[in-house]
Structure 1
């Protein structure tokens, strides 16, 4: 029996909160924003129909405070909760608490979130449906045990030590030799306990020159599971994605079918509902792929899939939460464009250190074939407490080169951010790099080409503008007022 959602509390901030509110507006569904003290003037607060202050700056006092978020939903008459991405989006305890409070959870079931949130458990399930997994071990707790495992399984360096409950690039370190194992093991455990409350680790063979490819899935409560094809997410810094595209330039038709069918098979096995992704590591030279994880939430890069398929994934999540069946079948999904996304973070493009402060000037890219998913406005503050994402810039074209051309125009000609540093110079250098244009890259692309990328930076600041004005004034003084004035 279908249920109607009339008001959604968005348990997030910034870009994800704004993105969800746009779809709610389209569907004539009211929204509630929650905000911390430094976010009181944020864009998502302005957009919402109602807003509730839930605590001070630290996430534990605000965006991770389950009691205050649920209380805010009940007090504002919200009947559903959408978690976005990050914060509590993959927290099974939060999902269950939302449903126990009589609210509708816009996402997968809590038991699925719990099972897939454990990398050890998820690998076992993936293997049970015939999906290859990276050689690894989940019961190693000491340096000696790791060394013994490597000798027994004939695994050579490098290896990767990961937090079992990790995600989003957190809690993982690459280890190059015996001397690094002890330090890496301690560091991963410490970060895992701090970020996820679980210090168990997973040790895996590191796949050299791997590519990161994920498959977007949507599913309803009636057993319908449909893939919306794949996204390439290989360009990363510090294990976190900054450029994504669809389709993947790494795959041919046969491999694409294998990836997508494997993802559907896994999601059917676990009884998945709502939107989610199955992530794989692709060993391109050997044409092998391995299961990485399931993301039981909306992905940051979902927008490029929307551009190529014409679907609204957030809208599908809301419809599924209202117990509606998917309105399409697999054969109805026919992508017909190439789409590219860059994540514009407030970071120093050379060291990736966060850049906080007031955005004194903001001009977002415009023009044909460009889509912006914003999270701030001119005059807004970038606080030091949260993710530094300013906006998502998406470009689309008839083919890959066309999409890259549009993205080049969006970043180099139309984008202007002042007051904080952003990754814009690095992003522009990457999409102009011959290897990127040719589709020849791995997850180590930035690491391998950083010096060359930095050397190509073209940066502008307010001094450039003042020099232009001064030069114009000098010309008028010397040559007189132009006739066109």
Structure 2
């Protein structure tokens, strides 16, 4: 048995979050399928249109297969849509959901997931179908010496990949032998199985082209391609901008790539949606198989837009196929195979708007979103997919929205993208909006000349150009405008290590503060504490004077207190000026693992972004060279290295635990700089 039999869906569990959960729920509603959403306490914006909502114990529960199996049984679920991500590519989840709980996981089934989710097996399939592949180390390993021997034999650059990685995780490009050990170790650590392989890298001049496939499981004649997408504009293997069709002008070459994808899909009797990915060099007219993503893709939107006149809905296509609807009876699916050498009549671009700070190496920008204005009703050819988030946390993906523009010609599509981006505005957190504007304005983008290395080459210039464009159009997409309406300038709001990047305060914000003695019976807090005799204090902001929180905060407030036994009556309000300031004056603060660093202190090595500690690589007494990695911090899928900008001896190092949350500006270590300045402990 390769997959469950087709059957009607009566109760659909959506085991994902964010914009894709909202997208799946909308598609299911139109098919009159009742939906069950899942959420965590701090992340609920995607559940508003679901019929039912189930709270998860923690963010980690989104990866917990046994917990989802229990939910399926407890709620009588007969189908599960995993969206994209870990569960969507898990053969184990698909098989256990059916065998243990009788639920269908929407997708190709566990056999195809096993054949395609493992990158080495997918590579073997390509070779069976006479599809070109790059030279590779074909045995999974976690031995760095084995990888080094392969690289020395085949030559640099090489790509190291987790056999079960996805979404940019577990991939490292190695251009120099001296970097191999550290980069290989990072790839191994990001692999769920701790197994990787290596292959000769095809990077310079290559485009990333993927083919959208849909199949009914019957093999030859039961597979359709829906043209190709190009995803060459990437940062650290995370796609930033996608477009369809590819800007490669050689349709004969593109046709060969599409034909290779169809052959591979037919070979394994592909069922449901899948994306077959390739690296294509239009100059040398060569291409190589890359991988298969056996699931719905983030960028499925632009394929739908290409076929918008046929009302193609790829999520509904998945749901209908799983219920036994014939492929040719699904709206938007062509009756016969499209000619791959004939381009589609439209062009479409997807731009991923993310809460990332370009000025801080695109690190995650957590905080509260004060305003999110998107061009949802600003003319034809514009689509926005979003869950309208209110906060950004370090627990989840940074994606805020997907802006999709469509037009009859490529130049018109680029102009529409520029206008849509100019109409967008985000206040409260830093975003990549300026960078997206700079990409859309770049001559290389307009000319269709961006390869997979383009973004990394141009990143610094794109950041500068994005800031300039934002100034010209009056865009308020920077975090400094979290202070709008408070009387402070954007520069003032953005000053300081932790300035306004994680919290927004406005006139009228109010809090009830109860100081409850420790040792009370568990579960008695908040209102219960007041009833037990603990007074409640009330603070209301009248005016923010200066917001550098968490470093400092100055504000005019109204203070009142509800005394015990007064039936909740508050005393009269008294105006105060509140001053909060972070301090390391006490001995306990000086010894704290979470000390805040100073960018003006040359002995301080600061963590420039919020995240979770993966590893501290130095300890007191170590000698550090300029450029050495001192710690690794995880933000969502990415493990980011923090490097020392100077040489010296470590006088103090962060002593927290693995997985511990750190804020932007947290001190990683303090150095003694020989002959210059002693470290200030």
Q: Which has the higher helix share?
A: 1
Mapped contact 2:229–2:243 kept (Cα < 8 A): yes
Aligned partners of 1:88, 1:146: CA distance in 2, in Å?
29
Per the alignment, residue 352 of structure 1 pairs with 362
TM-score (ref. length: structure 2): 0.64
SS at the partner of 2:280? strand
Task: Specify the alignment match of 1:102 in structure 2.
Answer: 102
Query: What corresponds to 1:454 in structure 2?
Result: 463
Q: Write the distance in 2 (CA, Å) between the matches of 1:331 and 1:150.
A: 41
1:238-261 superposed Cα distances (whole Å, 9 cap, x missing partner): 111010000000142212221111
Partner of 2:64: 65
SS in 2 for 1:47: coil
- Asked whether the equivalents of residues 361 and 418 of structure 1 are also in contact (C-alpha less than 8 Å), the reply is yes
Structure 1 position 234, deviation (Å): 0.3
Give the corresponding residue for 1:316: 317
**Which of residues 432, 445, 460 is equivalent to 1:436?**
445
Could you tell me whether the CA contact under 8 Å between 1:107 and 1:296 is conserved in 2? yes
Alignment-derived partner of residue 271 in structure 1 = 269
Q: Secondary structure in 1 aligned to 2:363?
A: coil
Q: Secondary structure at the match of 2:327?
A: coil
Name the Cα RMSD after superposition. Answer: 2.2
Q: Which residue, 420, 427, 431 being the options, matches 2:429?
A: 420
Superposed displacement of residue 43, structure 1: 2.1
What's 2:285 paired with? 287
Q: Is the 8 Å Cα contact of residues 40 and 58 (structure 2) preserved in structure 1?
A: yes
Greater Cα shift, 354-363 or 334-343: 334-343
Alignment counterpart, residue 209 of structure 2, candidates 199, 213, 231: 213
Whole-Å Cα distance in 2 between the matches of residues 64 and 141 of structure 1? 23
Within a 5 Å distance, the mapping from 1:332-371 to structure 2 comes to 335-350=344-359, 351-366=361-376, 367=378, 368-371=380-383
Residue 586 (structure 2) aligns with: none
The 1:464–1:325 alpha-carbon spacing in structure 2 relative to 1, beyond 3 Å, is same
Q: Which has the larger radius of gyration?
A: 2
Q: Which secondary structure does the structure 2 equivalent of 1:38 belong to?
A: coil
The structure 2 residue matched to 1:49, chosen from 34, 48, 51, is: 51
Unaligned ranges ≥5, structure 2: 329-333, 490-681
Question: Could you say what secondary structure the match of 1:63 adopts?
Answer: helix
Equivalent position of 1:409 in the other structure: 419
Residue aligned with 1:276, SS? strand
Give the structure 1 partner of residue 409 of structure 2.
399
Aligned pair count?
A: 456
Residue of structure 1 in register with 2:384 after alignment: 372
Q: Given the alignment, which residue of 26, 41, 46 partners 1:22? A: 26
Name the structure 2 match of 1:481.
none
Preserved contact between residue 12 and residue 87 of structure 1 (Cα < 8 Å): no
* Deviation at residue 169 of structure 1 after TM alignment: 1.3
- The CA distance in 2 between the partners of 1:358 and 1:248, in whole Å, is 37
What residue is the counterpart of 1:123 in the other structure? Answer: 123
CA offsets 1:362-421 (integer angstroms, 9 cap, x no match): 1111322100111224xx221210111111110000111111111111111x21111111
Q: 1:316, CA displacement in angstroms?
A: 0.7
Distance 1:142 1:316 in 2: 43
Q: 1:251 to 1:215 in 2, by over 3 A?
A: farther
Distance in 1 (CA, whole Å) between partners of 2:77 and 2:151 is 53
Distance 1:99 1:143, change over 3 A: closer
Instruction: Specify whether residues 151 and 186 from structure 1 end up closer, same or farther in structure 2 by C-alpha distance, changes over 3 A only.
Output: closer
CA–CA distance in structure 1, aligned partners of residues 120 and 232 of structure 2: 23
> What is residue 253 of structure 1 aligned with on the other side?
251
In 1, distance between residues paired with 2:207 and 2:427? 34
SS in 2 for 1:28: coil
CA deviations over 1:309-336 (Å, ceiling 9, x no partner): 1311111101110012102423468832
Task: Verify the 8 A CA contact 1:229 1:260 in the aligned structure 2.
Answer: yes
Aligned counterparts of 2:72 and 2:13: Cα–Cα separation in 1: 6
**Equivalent position of 2:137 in the other structure:** 137
Q: Distance in 2 between matches of 1:331 and 1:272?
A: 15
Tell me, yes or no, if the aligned pair for 1:174 and 1:206 is still in contact at 8 Å: no
CA deviations on 1:206-250 (whole Å, 9 max, x unpaired) are: 432221000000111333110001000000011110100000001
Q: Is the 8 A contact 2:227 2:245 kept in 1?
A: yes
Q: What is aligned with 1:236?
A: 234
The answer to whether the 8 A contact 2:155-2:200 is kept is no
In structure 1, C-alpha distance between the alignment counterparts of 2:152 and 2:366, rounded to whole Å: 47
What do the CA deviations read for 1:47-94 (whole angstroms, capped 9, x no partner)?
21001112123x2xx111122223323333432111001131111111
Residue pair 2:142, 2:188 contacting (<8 A) in 1 also: no
- Structure with more of its chain in strand, by fraction: 2
Residue by residue over 1:185-223, the C-alpha shift from the partner in whole angstroms, topping out at 9 and shown as x without a partner, is 22221222xxx2332333333432221000000111333
Residue 156 of structure 1 contacts residue 205 of structure 1 at CA under 8 Å; is this kept in 2? no
Asked whether the 8 Å contact 2:134–2:199 carries over to 1, the reply is no
For normalisation by structure 1, the TM-score amounts to: 0.89
SS of residue paired to 1:89? helix
1:307: how far off? Answer: 0.6
Shift in CA distance, 118/251, structure 1 to aligned 2, threshold 3 Å = farther
* Offset, 1:46: 1.3
Partner residue in 2 for 1:330: 336
Structure 2 partner of 1:477: none
1:161-240 residue pairs with structure 2 within 5 A?
161-192=160-191, 196-223=192-219, 224-240=222-238
Match of 1:38 in 2: 42
